[in-house]
Structure 1
Amino acid sequence: MTQQPVVLRPSGPVEPVGKNVLGMAAVGVGGFGLAAIYQLSGSRHLGIPCLLHATTGLNCPFCGATRMAAALLRGDLDAAWHFNPVVLVLGPLIGVAVGYQLLTWGLERARLVRLPRIAIDPRVLNLAIKALAVLLVVYGVARNLN
Structure 2
Amino acid sequence: MSPEEPWGPAEPAGPTGAAVRRRTLRVAALALGLGVPAGVYLWHTDPHRPGQLLLPCPFKWATGLLCPVCGGTRMAYDLMHGEVARAFHDNAVLLTLGVPVAAYAVARWLGAGLAGRTYRPRVTGRGNAVVLGIAAVWMVARNLVG
Please give the per-residue CA displacement for 1:45-97, whole angstroms capped at 9, x wherever unaligned. Answer: 33210122123321110100010011000010001000001111221232123
Q: Name the SS for the 1:41 alignment partner.
A: coil
Please give the per-residue CA displacement for 1:83-113, whole angstroms capped at 9, x wherever unaligned. Answer: 001111221232123223212311x24xxxx
Aligned equivalents of 1:104, 1:66: Cα separation in 2:
29
- The code of the aligned residue for 1:94 comes to A
Q: Name the SS for the 1:99 alignment partner.
A: helix
2:112 is matched with: 104
> What does residue range 1-146 of structure 1 map to in structure 2 within 5 Å?
13-14=16-17, 16=20, 30=35, 34=38, 36-42=40-46, 43=49, 44-89=51-96, 90-106=98-114, 108-109=115-116, 122=122, 125-146=124-145
**TM-score in terms of structure 2 length:** 0.64
Aligned residues: 119
Tell which deviates more after alignment, 83-92 or 96-105.
96-105
Tell which deviates more after alignment, 78-87 or 96-105.
96-105
The 3 A distance-change label for structure 1 pair 57 and 50 is same
Q: Do the aligned residues in 2 keep the contact of 1:52 with 1:60 (CA within 8 Å)?
A: yes
The 3 A distance-change label for structure 1 pair 119 and 63 is closer
Percent identity between the two aligned chains: 30
Calculate the aligned-residue CA RMSD, in Å. 3.3
Q: Do the aligned residues in 2 keep the contact of 1:34 with 1:47 (CA within 8 Å)?
A: no
Q: Higher relative contact order at CA 8 Å, sep ≥6: structure 1 or structure 2?
A: 1
Q: Do the aligned residues in 2 keep the contact of 1:61 with 1:137 (CA within 8 Å)?
A: yes
The 3 A distance-change label for structure 1 pair 140 and 36 is farther
**TM-score in terms of structure 1 length:** 0.64
- The code of the aligned residue for 2:44 comes to L
**Displaced runs of 4 or more, over 3 A:** 32-36, 117-120
Q: Do the aligned residues in 2 keep the contact of 1:53 with 1:59 (CA within 8 Å)?
A: yes
1:5 is matched with: none
